[in-house]
Amino acid sequence: MCLKTNEYISSVIASGKFAKVADLIEFAKSNDHKEAFIIGNSPTLKQITDEQWERVRSGFSIGFNGIPLFENFAPNVWMFEINNFWLSHIAQDIFKSAETRLDCVENFFLIKDTFCTEKNACEAVISFADKIKRAKVAIISKDIFIQGNTFDSAKENYKRLFQCIAQGKVKPDYLVRKRGSVTMGLFLLLIAGFKRINFVGVDLQNKSYFYDNVENNEPHGTEDTKLGMPISDVISAMIQAFNDVSNDKVEVFAASGRLLDKNIAQKLDW
């Protein structure tokens, strides 16, 4: 594994001002739900019915970046990555939307991508996290990446890590990732013990998000092989590695998208 961060964020983490990732892991473990949901930002998110949202709310959920713009939904874990996006007008709308739903659900705010060197972006997200901290639990996570440039090498590295965790040799205070935030969310759910994990709005089939006005049907950037191992392959490697180690296998479902097309997940039957 390798660690990426910057001096500004490192000093904030070292200050002890925010909670630790270990607290988030224990929080996830304490939620005795039968299923968990990873909620992406794909345009297909707008097709989910009110009845389906109720099922999501009854489980344990993780949402990313723009999810606060869904006015009637607040996930248990909000995952925000630090980048220049948070200096935009839409970012301010997201912050305001999140603030209005602080009391909707017991939740954590997780700040990631601590290797971002744009100080203004860092300060914008840290300022928001500081405000959130008064009402909810805010965490800034070190960015720790799993290594391996091929499916087999990534799977083997994940397998070793899951073995160490299962044997009690490692008690993580981090969420390992590779390529994208989704893998951090999946890692959390796996080590927290959820046995049914549903991907909703994680299509990986276009570059557009639900709040965009124009759809771009090119594969999502995290699927671009020029930038590294496709995130769908990372997800597959994680699941296979975990199931190789665990006696209690995890089942994975998806509402739509490449995880279904590549037979990585089963079709989610709402």
How many Cβ atoms sit within 10 Å of the Cβ of residue 85?
16
Q: What gap in Å lies between CA 86 and CA 112, rounded to an integer?
A: 13
- Residue 30: which pLDDT band, with cuts at 50, 70 and 90? confident
Predicted pLDDT at 61? 94
> Whole-prediction pTM value?
0.88
Structure tokens of 143? Answer: 């960015």
| pLDDT for residue 1 | 67
Q: Would the pLDDT of 187 be above 70?
A: yes
Instruction: Quote the number of domains for the chain.
Output: 1
Within 8 A by CB and 6+ apart from 137, the residues are 19, 23, 24, 27, 107, 108, 109
CATH number for 169: 3.90.1480
Q: What is the pLDDT of residue 162?
A: 96
- Of these ranges, 48-62, 78-92, 200-214, the one predicted with the greatest mean pLDDT is 48-62
Pick the most confident of 143-152, 169-178, 215-224, 233-242. 233-242
Q: Which of 67-71, 101-105, 135-139, 243-247 bottoms out in mean pLDDT, i.e. has the lowest?
A: 101-105
Q: CA end-to-end span of the chain, whole Å?
A: 37
CA atoms in the 13 A half-sphere facing the CB of 53: 12
60-104 pLDDT per residue, tens: 999 987 787 776 778 899 888 777 777 777 777 877 777 776 666
Domain that holds residue 194: 2-267
Q: Is the per-residue pLDDT at 198 higher than 90?
A: yes
Q: Please check the confidence at residue 45 and state whether its pLDDT lies above 90.
A: no
8 A C-beta contact, residue 172 and residue 21: yes
Does residue 264 have a pLDDT over 90? Answer: yes
Q: Examine the pLDDT at 135 and tell me if it is beyond 60.
A: no
State the average pLDDT for the chain: 84
Q: Find out whether 210 and 201 touch, Cβ atoms under 8 Å.
A: yes
Residue of 26, 33, 22, 27 whose CA lies nearest to 197: 33
* Cα–Cα dist 30/39, whole Å: 20
The mean pLDDT value for 210-220 works out to 70
| pLDDT value, residue 2 | 66
Mean pLDDT, range 242-261, rounded to an integer: 94
Using a pLDDT cut of 70, give the percent of the chain over it. 88
3-state SS class at 23? helix
Q: How many CB atoms sit inside 10 A of residue 236's CB? A: 20
